[in-house]
């Protein structure tokens, strides 16, 4: 297999893995996060407004590192509850990957 074809196959595999993470993260987001953050992540729900939750599209949220988002999800932050023990590390990473798709 030549190098170009091999690079194409590698890119396709990475893209497929990223899409799978985003899809499973989307399911978890809808089940555990959307009631507060909104289905589209813009924090337009009554709960988000009452709690003053920031939109995932806000500049402050977009610039957060994945590590910071994972930490907030695992350990909680402010009024957000901790999801450690409720979600696996893999599920949390998948949710963060899904949130990144909402930010585009």
Q: What is the pLDDT of residue 16?
A: 44
Residue 93 CB neighbours (<10 A):
17
Mind listing the pLDDT tens digit of every residue in the chain (104 residues)? 555 665 555 545 444 444 455 568 999 999 999 999 999 999 999 999 999 999 999 999 999 999 999 999 999 999 999 999 999 999 999 999 999 999 99
Q: Give the three-state DSSP class for 84.
A: strand
In a domain, 83, yes or no: yes
35 inside domain: no
Count of structural domains, the chain: 1
Both tokens of 32, joined, read: 């555990």
- Residue 65 within a domain: yes
Q: How much is the pTM?
A: 0.77
Helix (H, G, I), strand (E, B) or coil at 44: coil
The pLDDT value given to residue 13: 47
Give the domain CATH number at 9: 1.10.760
* Residue range of the domain that includes 97: 3-28+56-102
């Amino acid at each position: 297999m030549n190098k170009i074809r091999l690079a194409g196959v590698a890119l396709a595999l990475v893209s497929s893995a990223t899409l799978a993470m985003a899809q499973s993260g989307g399911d978890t987001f809808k089940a555990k996060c959307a009631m507060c953050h909104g289905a589209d992540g813009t924090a337009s729900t009554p709960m988000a407004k009452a709690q003053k939750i920031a939109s995932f599209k806000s500049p402050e949220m977009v610039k957060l590192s994945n590590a910071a988002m994972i930490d907030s999800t695992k350990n909680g932050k402010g009024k957000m509850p901790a999801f450690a023990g409720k979600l696996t590390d893999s599920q949390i990473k998948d949710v963060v990957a899904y949130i990144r798709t909402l930010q585009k």
